[in-house]
Amino acid sequence: MNQLEALRQYTVVVADTGDFRQLAAYAPQDATTNPSLILKAVQKPDYAPLLQDTVTRYPGLPMDEIVDRLLVRFGREILALIPGRVSTEVDARLSFDAAATVARAKRILALYRAEGVDTRRVLIKIAATWEGIQAAAELEREGIHTNLTLLFSFAQAVACGQAGVRLISPFVGRIYDWYKKNAGAAWDEAANADANDPGVRSVRRIFEHYKRFGIRTEIMGASFRNVGQITALAGCDLLTIAPELLAQLAASQAPVSRHLDAAMAKSLDLAPVQYDESGFRYALNEDAMATEKLAEGIRAFAADAVKLEQLIQNI
């Protein structure tokens, strides 16, 4: 049994890619996309016809609607290759506008519905700002399921659980990046590997809190830098993994064991935590890593959205 097969004993494996032609090799249950992955995919020769076709089919539409139609086109292609769900992201430039996020999410779902897609197989990805979390709460009340992304802090996870979102995506690798960069020459890679990785520790804390208090929101570790981060989270509800790391897992026979256990977490002596808006904002502010990485992530996704629009304009 290779590591990928072993991992599936404990965790649902999700593919983190816009390059849907790679999916068949790894047979993931679900798939996730984001603006950066879609931008990367459409610049490959294999996907140029898909971009061209989507743009030419809808002349005269506003740019934001053309982009949404492109995202839905990718999502539909992905859903044809997997048994589960696909996550499609709302424009990161709406991350601080709850009403606009709700409206954009509903339009994305309507576009999927018009393509004959069962919208129960679609998760709407939203940045885990306070406004994004409130938008997700409203969408969930209406039966539209969400994936809260760019999640770096315990406070964000707690607020998402309170909001009843379907799934969160804590970003393991980007947390690791921040701590490694800030440590500089003092960073000890071996001492901060596997279970001691700061990103892994963050997900473990969220997992234990959710399971201890019966929070039904699914936890999907994301943004991995190495296989050790992935195997250290065996037992997490889901893990979304880039094709390059899926290939490494499939090529390795090293053992994989469960590290996160919901049954054990239920017996932990943990204090309940809740946040109102002011408490959330203060807790996030106190977490320099999460504050910086959330802002950086929104800027990066927004910049890639602009680049995607420029590609479309040039067709």
Do residues 72 and 111 make contact, with C-beta atoms less than 8 angstroms apart?
Answer: yes
Instruction: Write b or e for each residue in 125-152: b if 16 or more Cβ atoms lie within 10 A of its Cβ, otherwise e.
Output: bbbbbbbbbbbbbbbbeeebbbbbbbbb
Q: Are 71 and 49 in contact, with CB atoms under 8 Å apart?
A: no
Q: CA end-to-end span of the chain, whole Å?
A: 47
Are 20 and 76 within 8 A, CB to CB? no
The single residue of 40, 44, 106, 125 carrying the catalytic annotation is 125
Whether 125 is a known active-site residue: answer yes
Enzyme catalytic residues? 125
